A and B are shown apart, each in its own frame.
Chain A
Amino acid sequence: MGYEFDWKVVLDNMDEFVLAVRMTLVLSTVAMLAALALGLIFALMRLSKSRLLRMPAGAYINFFQGAPQFVLIFWVYYGLAMLLGVNFRPFTAGVISLSAQYGGFLAEIFRSGIQAIDRGQREAATAMGLTAGQSTRYIILPQAIRIVLPSIGNNWIGMIKDSSLVSVIGLMEIMRTAYLNANDYFRPFEFYTLAALLYIGLTFVFYYGNQALERKLKVG
């Protein structure tokens, strides 16, 4: 028995997928911004002279790099919610778990970027009378950020892909929209193919954007 492909159903529901793509991008953006903040904080903690700051940061980074995102999502949405007695919205739970993990990844990226800046820069800053905090803020970080931007771009692409996991707790992003439509119309092949193509399209765009960014930063 042959299977008749029905792509019309997909096209009829494209408006839902436009919203889905928007949700994916919004989720990824919010989570990425939170992750950037967390990453910077933990990177600085990790580089601190104080053991009291270094060790918890190291533990956090190692833990969230080792735990699967899938597990983290369930842990936040069901586990943490029960512990705190709150009812997370899927979006909120998604942001928390994604940013917690990517904060760990970005912390390591920021750390290596900061460490890559020549010691001489810091010494010169101190010689000019800047405090450690000032030299970090005005001299080291601006240069470090230029080095790490391509890596952050790669993590952004990873974030877009991992956003698909938040579908399991019901957020109406690309994967969830595809799932619901696939079930409604009994057309899993068509809708999941669309989902795959949408993700490839997104990663494609950002991949080449990242390459262009990398090239721009190298010359400048």
Chain B
Amino acid sequence: MPYVPDFGPVLRMWDTLLLSLRYTLLLAVLTIVFGCIIGLFIALLRLSKVRVLRFLAALYINFFRGIPQIVYLVWLYFGLAMAFGTRFQPIPAAVICLSSQYAGYLAEIFRSGIEAIGRGQTEAAVAMGLTTAQTFRFIVFPQALRIVIPPIGNMWVGAIKDSSLVSLLGVMELMRTAQVQATNTWRPFEFYTATAIIYVSLVWLSSKGIALVERRMQHA
């Protein structure tokens, strides 16, 4: 007997699904915010004159770009917790995990953004008497920001998608909520289809938003 899709249960639980997005968005926002803070720091280390710092930063970046998210999440939440006898709360653990990993990617983004600003600018600033810190803060950073906004936008999209992994730690974001509902109602096809559509819509909206920001920056 062929399977007849029935989206009734999905529609009934629609508000529950949408409400779970607050965790998805919370995770994504915190990931990007902390990721940017840590990432900027790592990028500056990577560009440092001190060789050891450069090497350590490169190590950090390559390490966190080399492990799959799921391995890192599980390692931190179950492995590290057992080793140090601490009990992580799921959401802080997820944020620590995701933001430290995204910091790796964001560090590379910031680095290429900073390096893209011509040396001439830096030299002119020094000639005008600005310190290194002042040069960075008033000359390099504002221009680099315009370059990095689109790639950071892509990172945001990645953060939304990667938040689905946090379902493994029990956080009731969209994926976990859908999983629970799918299991309860025996309607995996309907619920996972709806979940995929919601994620794709979020991604699509984010892309449009980023494009808007990009366009407005052209006129600034």
Across the interface, do B189 and A200 meet the contact criterion of CB distance under 8 Å? no
Across the interface, do B68 and A164 meet the contact criterion of CB distance under 8 Å? yes
Which of these binds chain B: A15-23, A78-86, A124-132, A135-143?
A: A78-86
Q: Is B5 an interface residue (CB 8 A)?
A: yes
Q: Is B41 an interface residue (CB 8 A)?
A: no
Q: Is A88 an interface residue (CB 8 A)?
A: no
Least Cβ–Cβ distance between A164 and chain B, in angstroms: 4
Contacts of A188 in B (CB 8 A): 74-75, 78-79, 82
Q: Is B145 an interface residue (CB 8 A)?
A: no
CA distance A188 to B168 in the complex (A): 15
Least Cβ–Cβ distance between B196 and chain A, in angstroms: 4
Across the interface, do A196 and B189 meet the contact criterion of CB distance under 8 Å? no
Least Cβ–Cβ distance between A138 and chain B, in angstroms: 35
Across the interface, do A66 and B193 meet the contact criterion of CB distance under 8 Å? no
Interface residues of A in 152-203 (CB under 8 A from B): 161-162, 164-165, 167-168, 175, 178-179, 182, 186, 188-193, 195-196, 199-200, 203
Q: Is B126 an interface residue (CB 8 A)?
A: no
Least Cβ–Cβ distance between A148 and chain B, in angstroms: 19
Across the interface, do B175 and A192 meet the contact criterion of CB distance under 8 Å? no
A31-57 interface code vs B (CB 8 A; 1 in, 0 out): 000000000000000000000000000
Q: Is A68 an interface residue (CB 8 A)?
A: yes
Across the interface, do A161 and B204 meet the contact criterion of CB distance under 8 Å? no
Across the interface, do B85 and A70 meet the contact criterion of CB distance under 8 Å? no
Least Cβ–Cβ distance between B186 and chain A, in angstroms: 8
Chain B residues bordering chain A, tally (CB within 8 A): 47
Across the interface, do A182 and B78 meet the contact criterion of CB distance under 8 Å? yes
Q: Is A219 an interface residue (CB 8 A)?
A: no
Contacts of A63 in B (CB 8 A): 196, 200
Q: Is B83 an interface residue (CB 8 A)?
A: yes
Across the interface, do A74 and B188 meet the contact criterion of CB distance under 8 Å? yes
Most buried by B among A66, A82, A168, A193: A66
Least Cβ–Cβ distance between A14 and chain B, in angstroms: 18
**Listed A/B pairs (23) with beta-carbon separation below 8 Å:** A3-B83, A62-B204, A66-B157, A66-B203, A67-B161, A71-B164, A71-B192, A71-B199, A74-B182, A75-B189, A80-B189, A83-B5, A83-B189, A165-B68, A182-B78, A188-B74, A189-B79, A190-B79, A191-B79, A192-B71, A199-B71, A200-B63, A203-B66
Chain A residues engaging chain B, CB cutoff 8 angstroms:
1, 3, 5, 62-63, 65-72, 74-75, 78-80, 82-85, 161-162, 164-165, 167-168, 175, 178-179, 182, 186, 188-193, 195-196, 199-200, 203-204, 207
Known pairs A79-B193, A164-B71, A179-B74 / 8 extra A-B pairs, C-beta < 8 Å = A66-B201, A70-B164, A70-B165, A79-B182, A192-B79, A196-B75, A204-B62, A204-B66
Which 10 A-B residue pairings sit nearest by Cβ, starting from the closest? A79-B189, A66-B203, A66-B200, A78-B188, A189-B79, A192-B75, A75-B192, A68-B161, A164-B68, A203-B66
